């Protein structure tokens, strides 16, 4: 066998090892993505439900305050609006 053939065979072996390493890394990343995406979707759904509940509560508090002939917004409603804005 010539030096060129030996060099080529070594290179093919190196590339096969690198290919196997990359395949293992892709598999690891796919598992990681599945482990993080599912809980993330569940958390997003929970945030949406809690936000809707908070909006409904704030709306009810404002309505009750209006029934009491007061024009000011309850402090809890102000706090809710600020929290939604990230303050």
Global model pTM greater than 0.85: no
Residue 86 has phi, psi (to 5 degrees) of 85, 20
Query: Helix, strand, or coil here: 74?
Result: coil
pLDDT tens string, the chain, 87 residues long: the values are 899 999 999 999 999 999 999 999 999 999 888 888 778 888 899 999 999 999 998 888 877 666 555 566 778 888 888 888 888
Please state the domain extents for the chain. 3-84
CB 54 within 8 A of CB 80: yes
Ramachandran bin of 8, using left for φ above 0, alpha for ψ from -120 to 50, beta for the remaining angles: alpha
Structure confidence at residue 41 (pLDDT): 85
Structure confidence at residue 70 (pLDDT): 55
CA distance 9 to 21: 18
Structure confidence at residue 42 (pLDDT): 87
């Amino acid at each position: 066998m010539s030096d060129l053939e030996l060099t080529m065979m070594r290179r093919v072996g190196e590339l096969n090892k690198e290919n196997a390493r990359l395949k293992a890394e892709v598999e690891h990343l796919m598992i990681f993505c599945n482990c993080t995406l599912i809980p993330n979707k569940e958390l997003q759904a929970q945030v949406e439900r809690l936000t809707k509940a908070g909006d409904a509560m704030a709306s009810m508090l404002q309505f009750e305050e209006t029934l009491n002939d007061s024009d000011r917004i309850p402090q809890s409603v102000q706090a809710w609006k600020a929290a939604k804005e990230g303050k």
